A and B are shown apart, each in its own frame.
Chain A
Amino acid sequence: MADPNPQAASSTNSHPNDRVKLNVGGKLFETTVSTLRSGGPDSLLSALSHRPSGDPNPVFIDRDPEIFSVLLSLLRSNRLPSTSRRFSKQELADEALYYGIESRLKSASSPPPLSGIDVSVVATIRPASDGFASAFTAGDGDGSVWIAHGGQISSYDWNLIHTGTVRTHLEEINSICRVYSEIAALGSDSAAGLHFYDFSGNRNVGSVHWRDPSDPRIFKARVSAIADSTDSVFAAFHCPHKENSVLVVDKSTLQIQSELGRYTGGSAKNLVPGKLAWLPETGLLVGSSITCGAFGFSGYIRLWDPRSGQVVWETNEPGSGRSRRFGDPFADVAVDAEESMIFKVCSQSGDLGMADLRNLGDDPWVYLEENNPSLSITGGVGKYCAIHCYRRQVFVGRDGSLEVWSRGANGRSESEKENGVCEGLYRRNFVDKLEDSERGIIEKIEGGGDRLFVCRRGSEGIEVWESSNSSTVVSVL
């Protein structure tokens, strides 16, 4: 056989444009060194490209040629061809892992930036047993999710493929936080303590209990909310007689570092926080508690500085008459860490309130109202609201319906932001269709990896919403 390129054969340093022949499972492929190396320096294909290019015999790889042709197309054009639909996500992921080009597959198959005005349900993750999710977290940000259901935690990777389940000693898990890539911090309403479970070892790696020998009221403290920063875990503990506190736990030693305040829990203003959020930019912890009674909603938002242990800012609702919206307390609160904003949804009017964390005061709220009469919000006591901020959008679940408040890209947004006027920029749209809202009351919304995960009361599994650049054409012929 003639040598195609005698000059290159003599030199060991192969040129990026040199051609490489591969024999995969009996089928011949020809490509270039640069294409093979585009999978990353540590990949198998990249290693193959370092062979002297003058070798007339193709490299033999004993794998399926059809999948290889899909992956070669991916390397060449950076998109998955339609022939990839012949294979399952699992097959493609396994094969990409074999060739060491998983990152390319991940970037080509991950969804486009989440745009709440154009998303649809792409999947519902249903755990095999005890399918009602009691808590979940999309904390890793790559589109993976950990679901707590019936005392188990199931992990689903970026492809939404089930990768493992850990059975915990807890009967029910009510709060979960992914503190390391393989370790979850768990809290339960029915059992005391904060518990750490390791997915790789499938075991409990530690537990933290709130005890105080000097105070007999501190016993059997349960965890109602968990958040984490790079080196600490924050957990809101509460005792059977409502004494509560937020404990700071060191992430590496799993020892209690400090206690952020201690409250008696005697009134709505000092109950245990039901939500905790960490603000990495300012190093503050936000806690909020909301209760709904016969006279409507009441609760507080509190900002701690964990370094000093002091409360930096606090607001109670229904508050004093100073508030512009007296009698319209919040039904849920969410923090946008990227934008340094707090959003609340008002229980009576249904309006959205927002406050800039850099500019908090007595009444920092700016209210966003629906101006379109045909879309007017019906609020009121008894409406269940869930709110979540993700990718500069605010998602609100009202009973079963899901809506998004988003900003259009208008040239003037920057100047208005400086003036502090941004009311008109947010526009409300329904994310779902009417029939979607009948699947049950939305309990929790969380975003991660350009996916939106929605959990509904009385409905098995977790909905996954994604944006897509491709239209879902339905043939009706």
Chain B
Amino acid sequence: MPPFGGSVPPSYGSNNSNSSESNIVTVDVGGQLFQTTKQTLALAGPDSLFARVSDPPPPPLSSSVPFVDRDPELFSVLLSLLRTGNLPSKARAFDIQDLIFESRFYGVESLLINSVSNPSQFEAFNLERSEILPMNGRDSPSAIATTPFGSVHVAHGSKITSFDWSLRKKRTILTQFAAVDSMLAISPSVVAAGATDFSGLQILDLERGSVKETLNWENVTRSSSTVQAIGSNQEALFVSFESGRRNSNSIMVYDLHSLRPVTEIGHSEIYGAEINSAIPATKLNWLSGNSLLMASGSHSGPSGVLGNIKFWDVRSGNVVWELKENVDCFSDVTVSDNLSSMFKVGVNSGEVFFADLRNLGAENPWVCLGDGRRALNGKKEGVGCKIESHGSQVFCSKGGDIELWSEVAMGSVKNSEDGLEERVFRKNLMGKVKDVGGAKITNLAFGGNKMFVTRKDQQSVEVWQGSTRGF
């Protein structure tokens, strides 16, 4: 549009509307004329300003083109977004904050989020360490929680800093915790947070910085109930509680929306020397393919690390399958729906193991994906390793490095003894040479098209994302 857009005769728009039932809509934004179709504007949704513009005004006023008193250049970017679903390259001339603010004015922010931070754009093999989000103060992150579209909440010390999906806006609130040990995002502005030294699970409103609700588990000894792990599925919130005297533990199931308790599973009290019942679950993963809740916990004792992994049917409250770990117990464990497998890092060997979920009846379902003999050397190579699955890949941190495990689809299927085809997993070390060997990784999380990494004693969060999709 020439700079003298205003000199175009205003009858231009009315000509078009007169020429029968044309689909073409003309709109004047800040002095520049734009033309598009009703179909394109309809993509913005009925509540947006675009939809209102596309409705022709009543006859007495229809002589002039609708006028919107906003910046024309930002409008042209958002119009391109409507037309193609993608941001044009000229959008890079602006800050993403400008676009967010403008898209809110027009009511099309969801389209912008979809084009920039969509979980379907996550490309595991294309992740690069691209950005650092620094935290103020001296506390390093203890827990992070993400939402599907890439906003991230970071607990550091007694504070929680939350970043919006563009990671350009932040807000920090003060909590009652000395440090948050587990956190789960319920919505972009609400998190559930708990600590192993503080009684009760708190539902925190991050916008207002207030406690919406505190959920407590009534244990037999009437002592405090500390939070060991939080998990969720579409409807329910799972919380693993341990009593303050550490003699009983339980997993409570709450309704995710009303936060009313639904049921209690896996309640155990300690009597005698049965060590296994004393281990609270420290990780809760929902397996939607099988509708099971994976709960795992471990305990380090004089005879080494002991642990158990239980799969709960939440409706019936029964353990469907349980695995006791004593030889090379997991240091961390995760389940993958897409791969229909369970993965662990052995605490002694530091190697990744996988177990096919179809093969859970076997005596030892674990298949070592590395050198299994290392389990016997008694060293604790795997202490502090984290393993998480996202999409069809498994991410395992070892010290300061991240291994990316993926399954190779083989043409010729070779059956192993148990009748299942042998599966091939291969690993890659993530990042460039300069990224390797940082401080020990303490958290891995995924949201939008990004991976978030926190490291020991670093007051920041690392963002890994695909190079092509960066704004």
Binding site for B on A (CB under 8 A): 1-2, 4-5, 19, 21, 26-32, 35, 58, 69, 72-73, 76-77, 79, 81-83, 115, 117-120, 371-372, 406-411, 427, 429-434, 468-477
Q: 0/1 per residue, B140-184, Cβ < 8 Å to A?
A: 000000000000000001110101000111111111101000000
* Given A82-B95, A408-B209, A471:B133 Cβ within 8 A: yes
Assess the B137–A81 pair: CB atoms within 8 A: no
B129 interface residue per 8 A CB criterion: yes
Q: 0/1 per residue, B1-17, Cβ < 8 Å to A?
A: 00111110111000000
19 A-B pairs in the complex with CB atoms less than 8 angstroms apart: A21-B6, A30-B31, A30-B67, A73-B71, A76-B70, A77-B70, A77-B71, A77-B102, A81-B74, A81-B98, A118-B172, A411-B210, A427-B174, A429-B139, A469-B170, A471-B134, A473-B131, A475-B130, A476-B130
B187 interface residue per 8 A CB criterion: no
B131: A residues at CB distance < 8 A:
473-477
Tell me which of B28, B137, B178 contacts A372 (CB under 8 A).
B178
Assess the A4–B176 pair: CB atoms within 8 A: no
Assess the A28–B3 pair: CB atoms within 8 A: yes
Assess the A82–B136 pair: CB atoms within 8 A: no
Residue of B nearest to A412 (CB): B211
State the Cβ distance, A255 to closest chain B Cβ, in Å.
Answer: 48
Assess the A408–B67 pair: CB atoms within 8 A: no
* Given A82-B95, A117-B159, A409-B209, A473:B132 Cβ within 8 A: yes
State the Cβ distance, B335 to closest chain A Cβ, in Å.
Answer: 32
A181 and B232 alpha carbons, distance in the complex (Å): 58
- Chain B interface mostly: mixed
B178: A residues at CB distance < 8 A:
371-372
Residue of B nearest to A475 (CB): B131
Residue of A nearest to B28 (CB): A30
State the Cβ distance, A438 to closest chain B Cβ, in Å.
Answer: 13
Tell me which of A82, A434, A471 contacts B94 (CB under 8 A).
A82
State the Cβ distance, B388 to closest chain A Cβ, in Å.
Answer: 22
A406 and B74 alpha carbons, distance in the complex (Å): 40
A379 and B159 alpha carbons, distance in the complex (Å): 25
A476 and B128 alpha carbons, distance in the complex (Å): 10
A81 and B73 alpha carbons, distance in the complex (Å): 12
5 more CB-based (< 8 A) A-B contacts, given A4-B64, A118-B159, A427-B176? A77-B70, A77-B101, A83-B98, A119-B136, A409-B209
Q: 0/1 per residue, B203-234, Cβ < 8 Å to A?
A: 00000111100000000000000000000000
Assess the A21–B31 pair: CB atoms within 8 A: yes
State the Cβ distance, B3 to closest chain A Cβ, in Å.
Answer: 6
B11: A residues at CB distance < 8 A:
2
Which of A2, A406, A433 has the most chain B CB within a 10 Å cutoff?
A433
B69 interface residue per 8 A CB criterion: yes
State the Cβ distance, A53 to closest chain B Cβ, in Å.
Answer: 12
* Given A469-B169, A473-B168, A477-B128, A406:B174 Cβ within 8 A: yes
Which of B28, B137, B139, B168 has the most chain A CB within a 10 Å cutoff?
B137
State the Cβ distance, A410 to closest chain B Cβ, in Å.
Answer: 6
Assess the B64–A5 pair: CB atoms within 8 A: yes
A406: B residues at CB distance < 8 A:
174
B30 interface residue per 8 A CB criterion: yes
B105 interface residue per 8 A CB criterion: yes
B138 interface residue per 8 A CB criterion: yes
Assess the A76–B167 pair: CB atoms within 8 A: no
Which of A79, A83, A471 has the most chain B CB within a 10 Å cutoff?
A471
A468 and B158 alpha carbons, distance in the complex (Å): 19
A35 and B30 alpha carbons, distance in the complex (Å): 11
Assess the A433–B31 pair: CB atoms within 8 A: no
Assess the A35–B69 pair: CB atoms within 8 A: yes
B121: A residues at CB distance < 8 A:
none
Residue of A nearest to B65 (CB): A4
B97 interface residue per 8 A CB criterion: yes
Number of A-B contacts (CB under 8 A): 149
Binding site for A on B (CB under 8 A): 3-7, 9-11, 28, 30-31, 64, 67, 69-71, 74, 94-95, 97-98, 101-102, 105, 128-134, 136-139, 157-159, 161, 163, 167-176, 178, 208-211, 459, 462-463, 467
Residue of A nearest to B96 (CB): A82
Assess the A30–B6 pair: CB atoms within 8 A: yes
A81: B residues at CB distance < 8 A:
71, 74, 94-95, 98
Assess the B136–A120 pair: CB atoms within 8 A: yes
State the Cβ distance, B408 to closest chain A Cβ, in Å.
Answer: 29
A305 and B176 alpha carbons, distance in the complex (Å): 39
Assess the A82–B98 pair: CB atoms within 8 A: yes
Residue of A nearest to B159 (CB): A117
- The 10 A-B residue pairs with the shortest CB-CB distance, nearest first, are A30-B31, A82-B95, A118-B172, A408-B174, A430-B138, A471-B170, A474-B132, A409-B209, A32-B69, A372-B178
A468: B residues at CB distance < 8 A:
170
State the Cβ distance, A190 to closest chain B Cβ, in Å.
Answer: 39
Residue of B nearest to A18 (CB): B67
Residue of A nearest to B467 (CB): A477
A115: B residues at CB distance < 8 A:
172
Assess the A2–B9 pair: CB atoms within 8 A: yes
* Given A21-B31, A81-B94, A429:B134 Cβ within 8 A: no
Assess the A79–B169 pair: CB atoms within 8 A: no
State the Cβ distance, A422 to closest chain B Cβ, in Å.
Answer: 14
A72: B residues at CB distance < 8 A:
30, 71
Assess the A470–B170 pair: CB atoms within 8 A: yes
A372: B residues at CB distance < 8 A:
178
Tell me which of A77, A117, A431 contacts B174 (CB under 8 A).
A117
A28: B residues at CB distance < 8 A:
3-7, 31
Assess the A473–B129 pair: CB atoms within 8 A: no
State the Cβ distance, A381 to closest chain B Cβ, in Å.
Answer: 25
State the Cβ distance, A328 to closest chain B Cβ, in Å.
Answer: 24
B3: A residues at CB distance < 8 A:
26-28
A30: B residues at CB distance < 8 A:
6, 28, 30-31, 67, 69
B174: A residues at CB distance < 8 A:
117, 406-409, 427, 429
* Given A117-B172, A408-B209, A433-B459, A472:B134 Cβ within 8 A: yes
Assess the B137–A430 pair: CB atoms within 8 A: yes
State the Cβ distance, A433 to closest chain B Cβ, in Å.
Answer: 6
State the Cβ distance, A430 to closest chain B Cβ, in Å.
Answer: 4
Assess the B69–A408 pair: CB atoms within 8 A: no
B139: A residues at CB distance < 8 A:
429-430
Residue of B nearest to A426 (CB): B174
B167: A residues at CB distance < 8 A:
471, 473
State the Cβ distance, A392 to closest chain B Cβ, in Å.
Answer: 12
Residue of B nearest to A407 (CB): B174
State the Cβ distance, A21 to closest chain B Cβ, in Å.
Answer: 6
Assess the B158–A427 pair: CB atoms within 8 A: yes
B74: A residues at CB distance < 8 A:
81
A120 and B5 alpha carbons, distance in the complex (Å): 45
B463: A residues at CB distance < 8 A:
473
Assess the A410–B130 pair: CB atoms within 8 A: no
A406 and B6 alpha carbons, distance in the complex (Å): 54
* Given A2-B9, A471-B168, A473-B167, A411:B211 Cβ within 8 A: yes
A76 and B69 alpha carbons, distance in the complex (Å): 7
A71 and B414 alpha carbons, distance in the complex (Å): 70
Which of B31, B132, B174, B178 has the most chain A CB within a 10 Å cutoff?
B174
A408 and B176 alpha carbons, distance in the complex (Å): 7
Which of A5, A406, A429 has the most chain B CB within a 10 Å cutoff?
A429
Residue of A nearest to B105 (CB): A77
B211: A residues at CB distance < 8 A:
410-411
Assess the B30–A409 pair: CB atoms within 8 A: no
